[in-house]
Amino acid sequence: MPRNLKEEVVFTAIMAGLMVLVMTGYNVAMAQGLSSGLVMEILKGYPLGLIVAIILDLLIVGPIAKGLAFKYIINDYMKRNTVLIGITISVLMVLGMVTLMSFFGITVEGKLAQGHILATYGHTWIFNLIVALPLQLIIVGPIARGVLGKMQSAAARKAEAEEIVEEEV
């Protein structure tokens, strides 16, 4: 878990950056097939999707997911195993982000103006969840947590070195 603002920003940037990139590619491929313009369509949709995802993650989904997890799900046993806390929060984050980003996606694509809004949203939501959950738990989450762990280790080593220098003075 991030311990300060810098760690939170880096962690969120990696997590959102990778998730939005893969999910944008997946959704473009689902909508248009594997065409020759696939890469350009992904790159065209990526910046706005990333900005929206980061805002939703930091301001809405993250606080709600963490609040629900610590209030209703995480128990004393889970508190002894930080991996379980990470998985719990990751699952809740994916559920929240898929819920909001699926709506964002069909809005941007103009599919809200068409009929069958609930069917379109339900189809989009379930197909996004099927990809996003394993992507988060198996690939993106471990990458982001690995980078965060290296940052925290480096910060701890730096603090320890500074403490030794202060003791010598």
What CA–CA distance (Å, rounded) separates 132 from 130?
Answer: 6
Question: How is residue 109 annotated by DSSP?
Answer: T
Per-residue pLDDT at 127: 97
- Report the 10 Å Cβ neighbour count for 99: 15
Per-residue pLDDT at 153: 93
Q: How many helices (H) and strands (E) does the chain have?
A: 7, 0
Range of the domain at 83: 5-168
User: Quick one: which of 162, 167, 147, 130 has its CA closest to 22?
Assistant: 130
Per-residue pLDDT at 70: 93
Per-residue pLDDT at 161: 87
pTM above 0.85, yes or no: yes
Per-residue pLDDT at 169: 67
User: Do 56 and 100 contact (CB within 8 A), yes or no?
Assistant: yes
Per-residue pLDDT at 21: 96
User: Quick one: which of 167, 97, 105 has its CA closest to 132?
Assistant: 97
Is residue 76 helix, strand or coil? Answer: helix
**Helices 38-56 and 5-32, packing angle to 10 deg:** 140
Question: How is residue 36 annotated by DSSP?
Answer: T
| Type and span of the H or E element at 56 | helix 38-56
**pLDDT (tens place) for every residue of the chain, 169 residues total:** 788 888 988 999 999 999 999 999 999 898 888 877 888 989 999 999 999 999 999 999 999 999 999 999 998 888 888 889 989 999 999 999 999 999 999 999 887 777 789 999 999 999 999 999 999 999 999 999 999 999 999 989 988 888 888 877 6
What CA–CA distance (Å, rounded) separates 49 from 56?
Answer: 10
Count of domains forming the chain = 1
Per-residue pLDDT at 162: 85
